[in-house]
Each structure stands twice: as structure tokens, then as C-alpha cells.
Amino acid sequence: MNPGAGKGAALAAVAGYYGIDRENIIAVGDSYNDLDMIEYAGRSGWRWPTPGMR
């Protein structure tokens, strides 16, 4: 897998394509693979504790 690939990079690409500022993006995650997306978004939420994660 490309180390530059991820949900955050994908979100940034889509936001750039549509001209959406980070401050106008809301991201919600429930697992560690969502962290880069949550960090990118202007507002975010996290479901904790996530079943099966410790």
C-alpha cells in the first residue's frame, strides 16, 4: 500500500477538487484507521470505546 494513501489524503483530495475549506468539513471515525481523516477535518468526532479495540 502507498504510505501516502489514507482517508485523510482522500478527504483532502476531494475537498480540494470541490473547493471545500478544512473548516467546513466534519469527519466522524470509529477506528484507528480514521485518525488521519479526523486530524484533517475542521471538526471531528470519535466513537469511543469502539468494540474490539483497546
* pTM score, whole prediction: 0.76
Does residue 53 carry a pLDDT above 80? no
Q: Determine what percent of the chain is predicted with pLDDT higher than 70.
A: 85
At residue 41, the pLDDT reads 93
| Cα–Cα distance list, 43 to 2, 16, 50, 54 (Å) | 26, 17, 19, 24
The CA-atom distances, in angstroms, between 10 and each of 24, 32, 36, 49 are 16, 16, 10, 25
The pLDDT of 15-36, averaged and rounded, is: 92
